[in-house]
Structure 1
Amino acid sequence: MRTVLGGCLCQSVGFEVDLPFTKFVRCHCSRCRGATGSAFAVNAYVLPPAFRWRRGQEHVARFDLPEARSFSTSFCRCCGSPLPHHTRSGREVIIPAGSLLDDPGVSPSLDSCWSSRAAWLSDAGDLPKPE
């Protein structure tokens, strides 16, 4: 088993993740676009035992979108960087791929919510687009 490190921009928060990911996707839903300010979110998923905070957990803030059954996000209170969070069910940890400091050695395997993509995004490559 290989472990990769991650953290926020200001380095106040650090974490580690045991590979492999259970899934690795690019999500085009409007909520992920809003949370990232980008065309899509790139998220890796692991089971909770594969994730550990190394430092700065007190700097992690969580936002649960009130009108959503399951949408949440976490970020560094110091610099605002997106950070990993446990799903509301507690069954998975979602890791923003941009917060990884090490190369996990794999790439996203699909584009989720492709039909919800930003109107100005014409192509995002050749990943499968279920829907």
Structure 2
Amino acid sequence: MTVHSGSCLCGTVKFEVQGSFDSFYLCHCQHCQKDTGSAHAANLFSQSAELTWLSGKDAVTSFTLSGTRHNKSFCKLCGSALPSTQLEGVVVVPAGCLDSRISMVPTAHIFTGSKAPWDGDFGDVPEFEGLPE
């Protein structure tokens, strides 16, 4: 069985996800843009995986936007996005909170009708391995 490990930025929350991911979506909806502060959310979904909190479970909180199914679980100390089980029968794992590597590539871009106008092909934008000097 595949086991993935992850944590929050401050290290208070640690977890494992046992099982496989069914899909990996890059969501461009306005809700995901707001709660990530970025162009899109990158979330892995599984209907069969099991989430186990190894430490810091009491530091995990969640927010569901009223009138929607949009939910975000996060560390109440550092604000890092964390896995959620708010959708019945589905574990949703923000890809960036995993410490273990995943070989899965995104399945699809979703809600592209809301795509940020500054999110596009950046072939000519310089790249740096660290902070530019």
TM-score with structure 2 setting the length: 0.85
> Which residue does 2:15 correspond to in 1?
15
1:22-33 to structure 2, matched below 5 A, reads: 22-33=22-33
Q: 1:8 to 1:26 in 2, by over 3 A?
A: same
Name stretches of at least 5 consecutive residues in structure 2 with no aligned partner.
Answer: 123-133
Residue 110 of structure 1: how far off its partner (Å): 0.8
**Identical aligned pairs, as a percentage?**
36
- Give the number of the structure whose alpha-carbon radius of gyration is greater: 2
> Which residue does 1:99 correspond to in 2?
97
1:1-131 to structure 2, matched below 5 A, reads: 1-47=1-47, 49-68=49-68, 70-88=69-87, 90-123=88-121
TM-score with structure 1 setting the length: 0.86
Q: Within 2, Cα distance between the matches of 1:122 and 1:15?
A: 33
Question: What is the RMSD of the two structures over their aligned residues, measured on CA atoms?
Answer: 1.5
Asked if 2 retains the 8 angstrom alpha-carbon contact of 1:25 and 1:110, the reply is yes
Matched residue type, 1:98: G
Matched residue type, 1:27: C
